Structure 1
């Protein structure tokens, strides 16, 4: 990536030489050019005297370029993978350890923010949650700049900045990227944060253990205000275990699947894992609202899928893999999750997967496990089961 201060070699995480997707885009470069010399819209920013907070920096491109150029620099992200990529990119740029404070979206934000830089996320809920949390840390002289590709910035995006931060306008587009300028108007009464959302599952969850669950969704978690149809279909065919065992809800989201499993399988240990800090916080809240009496039988892990679990340490994995990475459709995440599951499973352990019919997950599972059983299907979804036989 070329920035005003030099060129940077950046990678995503996990690093894969076959991965053709870059760790930055034109919106990152546009923002960095603006910070150095202005864009014709707003003049340059005095970084050396500023406490700078960067939100949503996808792979650490922004903080890597800004490290050492501010009075203080903080990155806030919802992504464990983004944190790991940032650490690697900072090390590659020979930035001293500790030069950048790495926080997640559940951490308390910095007390003072002179410059707030926002890489616009895909989720409006996550943007709303973070702006509500950060706005009280701004002051009348704070500079707030958002950035994103034109296709990522909508009227609803600008309305959030306007409502929570202050008067908002956009820059001209360059290389299909655009900047957002918001002028803070510190309010005596900050905008109330509507997140997390809490609701109760009704008959749509089926007659099994999911019905009646109290669900918590922090901003940015998929399908925040309702049960999505894929999870609903999976719950209708969710296996229950008798006796003891260790089962992983991989890519747990709000934890509905793992919590339903825990209610229907009283002696089973359930591991909830996701790369999203917001998701794992949601899963923890969902579980404790419905199964607090079995707290010792649950574990909550923010991480790279099952990478932190020992080989051969679990009896089953339940997985609804994502097939989008930001604006791209890819099966790389699903393939990585399936491979991690096979490593983590004990012999005769089971991987249960739900996915859209057209994704062809059965082919990948047969290639990895040597077998794949169709458990259930409808016009849109399939539930598949693969067994680790060796």
Structure 2
């Protein structure tokens, strides 16, 4: 079975579009098979985008696991002076995010593979609907890698389904020395706010 977190999706391409409708934003996004939630904007993503405070107006922002770009494009729309790094391992997702950003006129979105982000870049905000299904070891490795790149006053917001381990993830983050609090809870999703202690 193919997974959306593979670098080269095995699913045959079948382009489609979905609408992202938020109180402050309406975008039509290209999508395709072999990427995360290609039929509709995932409910967890919507909960995240409807729950978090606006991102910092400037600096570098990160959408970790960008898929076809709903989080990155929302960040870029809400913070037009910031640079939004939209990263994924899935090459089809990266391409879609780039096209969607261009179509929306959001020229400060940088869509790229996770290994292509310059090592010196530090993020004042990270928003993510992380790929929980990659398994705990890979998830923990991914979060350790990227949370360490928060600026001293940077904040990460992660959306995680309750039954997929949001509470255990919150405990693990605290054990790693992060301040992890529940920012919001809706429709069986938790928004975890993660900061340096």
Q: State the TM-score bracket (shorter-chain normalisation).
A: 0.7 to 0.9
CA–CA separation in structure 2 for the residues paired with 1:245 and 1:369: 25
CA–CA separation in structure 2 for the residues paired with 1:244 and 1:238: 17
| Distance apart, 1:233 and its partner CA | 0.8
DSSP-derived class of the 1:282 partner:
helix
Q: TM-score, normalised by structure 2?
A: 0.86
**Which runs of structure 1 show a deviation greater than 6 angstroms over 4 or more consecutive aligned residues?**
none
CA–CA separation in structure 2 for the residues paired with 1:331 and 1:309: 26
Q: Which of 125, 129, 153 is the aligned partner of 1:316?
A: 125
CA–CA separation in structure 1 for the residues paired with 2:113 and 2:56: 27
DSSP-derived class of the 2:73 partner:
helix
Q: Which runs of 5+ in 1 are unaligned?
A: 1-55, 59-77, 81-103, 106-120, 130-194
1:285 aligned residue: 99
1:208 aligned residue: 24
DSSP-derived class of the 1:283 partner:
helix
Q: Any conservation in 2 of the 1:273–1:301 contact (CA below 8 Å)? A: yes
Q: CA RMSD in A?
A: 2.3
Q: Which runs of 5+ in 2 are unaligned?
A: none
Q: Any conservation in 2 of the 1:280–1:301 contact (CA below 8 Å)? A: yes
2:169 aligned residue: 361
Q: Which has the higher contact order (CA 8 A, sep 6+)?
A: 2
Query: In the alignment, does 2:86 pair up with 1:272?
Result: yes
| Distance apart, 1:385 and its partner CA | 0.7
Q: Any conservation in 1 of the 2:87–2:94 contact (CA below 8 Å)? A: yes
CA–CA separation in structure 1 for the residues paired with 2:94 and 2:189: 25
For 1:221-236, list aligned pairs within 5 A.
221-236=35-50
- Count the aligned residue pairs: 192
Higher percent of residues as strand: 2
DSSP-derived class of the 2:47 partner:
helix
| Distance apart, 1:313 and its partner CA | 1.6
Structure with the greater alpha carbon radius of gyration = 1
2:151 aligned residue: 346
CA–CA separation in structure 2 for the residues paired with 1:235 and 1:323: 18
DSSP-derived class of the 1:324 partner:
helix
Query: In the alignment, does 2:91 pair up with 1:246?
Result: no
Q: Which of 286, 302, 310 is the aligned partner of 2:113?
A: 302
User: Deviation digits for residues 143-201 of structure 1, max 9, x if unmatched?
Assistant: xxxxxxxxxxxxxxxxxxxxxxxxxxxxxxxxxxxxxxxxxxxxxxxxxxxx3212333
| Distance apart, 1:336 and its partner CA | 1.6
| Distance apart, 1:213 and its partner CA | 0.5
| Distance apart, 1:219 and its partner CA | 2.2
2:15 aligned residue: 196
